[in-house]
Structure 1
Amino acid sequence: MQTRILRARLLEAQLDLAHRREQSVIVLLTGHAATHKGRLVNELNHWLENRHTEVHALGPSSEEQERPYWWRFWRRIPDRGRIGIFIHGWYGDGLFARAERRLSPGAFRDRLAEIRAFEAELAAEGVVLLKLWMDIDRSDQRHHLQALQADPVRAWQLTTADWQRHLQHAAIEALGREMRNVTAVDHAPWRRLDFRDPPEQLQRVGALLHETLVAPPEPPSEVPEVMAGEMPAAPSIRRADPRTKTSLKKSSYAARLVEEQGRLAINAREAARRRLPVVLAFEGLDAAGKGGSIHRLTAALDARQYRVHRIAAPSDEELALPWAWRFWRRLPADGRIAIFDRSWYGRVLVERVEGLAPEAAWRRAYAEIREFERQLLAHGTVLGKLFLAISQEEQLRRFKARAATPHKRHKLTDEDWRNRERWDDYRQAIDEMFARTQAPGAEWELIACDDKRRARLRVLESVNERLEARLASPI
């Protein structure tokens, strides 16, 4: 195909992508050094309408090092209708670290498994992947590096890392072959490009991108995950009784509240000193007391240390990206606390029960959630998951009290009454959520909340226990 015709067709396909806003596209280039990757990206960007493209060549910043590894990539996923171009992307770190033996064979295999899970999740959420391996023979690579070094106009492009990659050519070739074999799947295949003159390379890449835009691969039906040990026993809301025989007296509650809040203040300061990130996810039935419990929790914390994220219906910005993006972007830096008033579990609770997500999406979400939480734990995050349970009778009493109290009336919505009509459906979804997302380090705490005072104390106790267990650990 003539270059002029190819450029016109590619631009037409890109503008159609931007108009429909149904998918986004990621072009990822990695491979050997001295294969024109930078020049190729620059020229491809000129072919495209660059108002709808973004280019990323990543080196981890201090901000990124303070969060789980995949945060840096999640925050750069392009919106629907856009094209993101990544040089090396999520492959370069592992590939070159393994070539330099900074990464063990087992850790390299684990990274490849993480990549498979990450790319499957992206593909299932409408992100189309075009992955290009840039190949070059070792002798051609040497001649090209020597020519660059001898050219006063282009010598600045050459770095010591390029020569290092040349010395590692055999290792990178073997590791690259293993990497492609493990991560090549129908929804994210690899395309291998031999070293050629830049115009020929650009023609080939342009043709592959056009093909990807007009005929994207089918998304996967399942998402693989990197398992982390056996599942511990999960709680059950249908077997638990949220009622208590006696209510805790106000005087006893006040004394114990001060004690637990003081305990939390000490634990939180020590977690900050040790640079431990903390993520607390609050879920629960309507009127169970999430807001009140979170208020008692944050009263013990330094306001500079924590942030409360109240998760509601997704915004237009969030709808333009994979559903997990809005949780990844809110993860705390090391030494900080993120409190989620409702969380990523909405996909397998309200979105499931109310039909707001397709069945395939919420069923797939269990594996996505387990992998997300495994990534948090791998980074060293202290993860607390609290579910606040309430009896049907107590919920009705609180609904009526809210309706009769002017300053609380805003808390009661038509949605609360509608959710109550699906009581049994929610309880079934909750128990399945417990069973399928219980994991070592990510256990659920089921808290009986018919007695608000006891429930609030138990929330504080649970968070303290989780923090103290981690602070007592030598790791």
Structure 2
Amino acid sequence: MKTAILRARLLEAQLDLARCQERAVILLLTGHAVTHKGRLVNELNHWLENRHTEVHALAPSSEERERPYWWRFWRRVPDRGRIGIFIHGWYGDALFARAERRLSPGAFRDRLAEIRAFEAELAAEGVVLLKLWMDIDRPAQRRHLQALQADPVRAWQLNDTDWQRHLQHAVIDALGREMREATAADHAPWHRLDFRDRPAQLRRVGALLHETLVAPPARPTVVPEVVPAVVPEVVPGEAPAPPSIRRAEPRVAAPLKKSDYAERLVEAQGRLAINAREMARRRIPVVLAFEGLDAAGKGGGIHRITEALDARQYRVHRIAAPSDEELALPWAWRFWRRLPADGRIALFDRSWYGRVLVERVEGLAPEAAWRRAYAEIREFERQLLAHGAVLGKLFLAISQEEQLRRFEARAATPHKRHKLTDEDWRNREHWEDYQRAIDEMFARTQAPGAEWALIACDDKRRARLAVLEQVNRRLEMRLASPH
């Protein structure tokens, strides 16, 4: 195909992608040094409509180092209708760290497993991946390096790292083969491009991108789970058996007296303030996820926590229906982007568990999507723990009778009526469906360091103290750990 025709067809396919907004495309280039990656991307950009294209060639910033590893890539996933181009991306980190022995063989294999899970989740959410390995043999690489170095106009393009990669050519070649074999999939294929003149390379890259844009996407049905060689020791011992909403402790008959509650509240909040300051000093991030039945008291429990904290240290995220921006991206993106920096606290009033609760029960997500989400959630939480975060998951439960009483009290109180919606009444009609979904959620997402705390909330005072106790307990377990 002539270059002019290819260029026109590629642009037409990109504009169709932008108009339909049904999927996003990621083009990732990695491989050996001095194989024209940067210049190819620059020239490809002249072929494409830049308003619908994003290019990322990045080293981690200080902001990114304070969050789980994959945060830096999740926040750069392109919207549907756009093309994201990554130079090296998540592969360069793994490849060069292993070549320089900053990653052990086991850690390298773990990273490849994380990549498989990440790419499968993207593909399942409508992100199409095209991965290019830019190849060059060692003699040709050396000749090209020498030619660049001798050219006063282009010598600035070289640095010491390029020569280091040349010395590591055999190692990088072997690791590249291992990496490609471990991460190739129908939904994330690899293409190997031999080093040649730039016009020929550009035509080849343009043709592959055009094929990707016009071909039907391949989507995985199952997201692979990562089983790391070393499980991070966050909470000692094994996770207890998951709780059950149907086997919750009997409701307390006698409400806690107001005077007793006030005394215990001050004590629990004082303890939390001390623990939170120490977490900040040690730069340990905290993620607290609150789920629960309507009117169970999530907001009240969160308020009692934040009363004890420095406002500069925490942020409360109240999760509602996704915005238009969030709907244009994979469902987990809006939770990744809200993760706290090291030493900070994020409180989620409803969380990623909406995928397997309200979206399941209300039919807002296809069955295949919410069933796949269990593995995606486990991997998300595993990465939080691997980064060193403390993860607290609290489910607040009330009886049907108490929920009805609170609904009626809200309806009769002018300053509380806004809390009661038609959706709340409709959810009561699905009580049994929610009970089944909650129990399955507990069973399939319980893990060491990510255990569920089930809190009976018919008595608001006891429930709020129980919330504080659970949070204090998790912080103190981490602070007592040598890790």
TM range (shorter): over 0.9
Q: Hey, what does 2:356 align to over in structure 1?
A: 348
- Map 1:167-178 to 2 at 5 A: 167-178=167-178
Letter in 2 for 1:105: P
Q: Hey, what does 1:410 align to over in structure 2?
A: 418
Letter in 2 for 1:85: I
Q: Hey, what does 1:57 align to over in structure 2?
A: 57
Render the CA deviation track for 1:232-257: whole Å, top value 9, x for unaligned. 41000011145112111000000000
CA contact (8 A) 1:23 1:127 kept: yes
Output the CA distance in 2 between the equivalents of 1:172 and 1:246: 68
Output the CA distance in 2 between the equivalents of 1:274 and 1:216: 49
1:55 partner SS: strand
Find out whether 1:136 has 2:136 as its counterpart: yes
1:187 partner SS: coil
- Map 1:78-117 to 2 at 5 A: 78-117=78-117
- 1:366 paired residue among 360, 369, 374: 374
Render the CA deviation track for 1:186-240: whole Å, top value 9, x for unaligned. 1001000000000000000000000000004310000001136676410000111
**Cα drift, residue 6 of structure 1:** 0.3
- TM-score normalised by L of structure 1: 0.99
Letter in 2 for 1:428: R
Find out whether 1:472 has 2:480 as its counterpart: yes
Output the CA distance in 2 between the equivalents of 1:316 and 1:102: 41
- 2:431 paired residue among 423, 429, 436: 423
Change (3 A) 1:346 1:242: farther
CA contact (8 A) 1:29 1:37 kept: yes
1:227 partner SS: coil
Q: Hey, what does 2:455 align to over in structure 1?
A: 447
Find out whether 1:279 has 2:287 as its counterpart: yes
CA contact (8 A) 1:237 1:389 kept: yes
CA contact (8 A) 1:55 1:85 kept: yes
Output the CA distance in 1 between the equivalents of 2:355 and 2:89: 28
Output the CA distance in 2 between the equivalents of 1:462 and 1:261: 12
Output the CA distance in 1 between the equivalents of 2:375 and 2:460: 33
- 1:269 paired residue among 272, 277, 292: 277
CA contact (8 A) 2:269 2:468 kept: yes
CA contact (8 A) 1:29 1:132 kept: yes
2:385 partner SS: helix
Output the CA distance in 1 between the equivalents of 2:11 and 2:310: 52
Output the CA distance in 2 between the equivalents of 1:89 and 1:232: 38
Output the CA distance in 2 between the equivalents of 1:321 and 1:47: 25
Output the CA distance in 2 between the equivalents of 1:117 and 1:8: 35
Find out whether 1:334 has 2:307 as its counterpart: no
Output the CA distance in 1 between the equivalents of 2:74 and 2:195: 31
CA contact (8 A) 2:271 2:472 kept: yes
Output the CA distance in 1 between the equivalents of 2:161 and 2:93: 13
Output the CA distance in 2 between the equivalents of 1:233 and 1:82: 44
CA contact (8 A) 2:317 2:347 kept: yes
1:81 partner SS: coil
Output the CA distance in 2 between the equivalents of 1:203 and 1:93: 28
- Map 1:21-36 to 2 at 5 A: 21-36=21-36
Q: Hey, what does 2:163 align to over in structure 1?
A: 163
1:14 partner SS: helix
Change (3 A) 1:231 1:462: closer
Output the CA distance in 2 between the equivalents of 1:201 and 1:225: 36
Find out whether 1:376 has 2:392 as its counterpart: no
Letter in 2 for 1:3: T
**Cα drift, residue 37 of structure 1:** 0.3
Letter in 1 for 2:386: A
2:294 partner SS: coil
Render the CA deviation track for 1:162-189: whole Å, top value 9, x for unaligned. 0000000000000000000000011001
Find out whether 1:17 has 2:25 as its counterpart: no
Render the CA deviation track for 1:67-121: whole Å, top value 9, x for unaligned. 0000000000000000000000000011001001111000000000000000000
- Map 1:165-244 to 2 at 5 A: 165-227=165-227, 232-241=240-249, 243-244=251-252
Q: Hey, what does 1:461 align to over in structure 2?
A: 469
- 1:385 paired residue among 386, 389, 393: 393
Find out whether 1:66 has 2:66 as its counterpart: yes
Output the CA distance in 1 between the equivalents of 2:347 and 2:316: 5
1:441 partner SS: coil
Find out whether 1:153 has 2:159 as its counterpart: no
Output the CA distance in 2 between the equivalents of 1:231 and 1:249: 34
Output the CA distance in 2 between the equivalents of 1:88 and 1:217: 23
Letter in 1 for 2:64: E
Render the CA deviation track for 1:272-329: whole Å, top value 9, x for unaligned. 0000000000000000000011111100000000000000000000000000000000
Output the CA distance in 1 between the equivalents of 2:213 and 2:173: 29
1:330 partner SS: coil
Letter in 1 for 2:224: P
Render the CA deviation track for 1:43-75: whole Å, top value 9, x for unaligned. 001100011001000101000000000000000
Find out whether 1:313 has 2:321 as its counterpart: yes
Output the CA distance in 2 between the equivalents of 1:293 and 1:137: 62
Output the CA distance in 2 between the equivalents of 1:166 and 1:357: 49
1:238 partner SS: helix
Letter in 2 for 1:322: P
2:438 partner SS: helix
1:133 partner SS: strand
Letter in 2 for 1:399: F
Letter in 2 for 1:12: E
1:79 partner SS: coil
- TM-score normalised by L of structure 2: 0.98
Moved more, 314-323 or 229-238: 229-238
1:109 partner SS: helix
Name the Cα RMSD after superposition: 0.8
**What percent identity do the matched residue pairs reach?**
87
Output the CA distance in 1 between the equivalents of 2:7 and 2:216: 19
Structure 2: give runs of 5+ residues left out of the alignment: 232-237
Find out whether 1:251 has 2:275 as its counterpart: no
2:218 partner SS: coil
**Cα drift, residue 349 of structure 1:** 0.1
CA contact (8 A) 2:391 2:449 kept: yes
2:247 partner SS: coil
**Cα drift, residue 461 of structure 1:** 0.4
Letter in 1 for 2:55: V
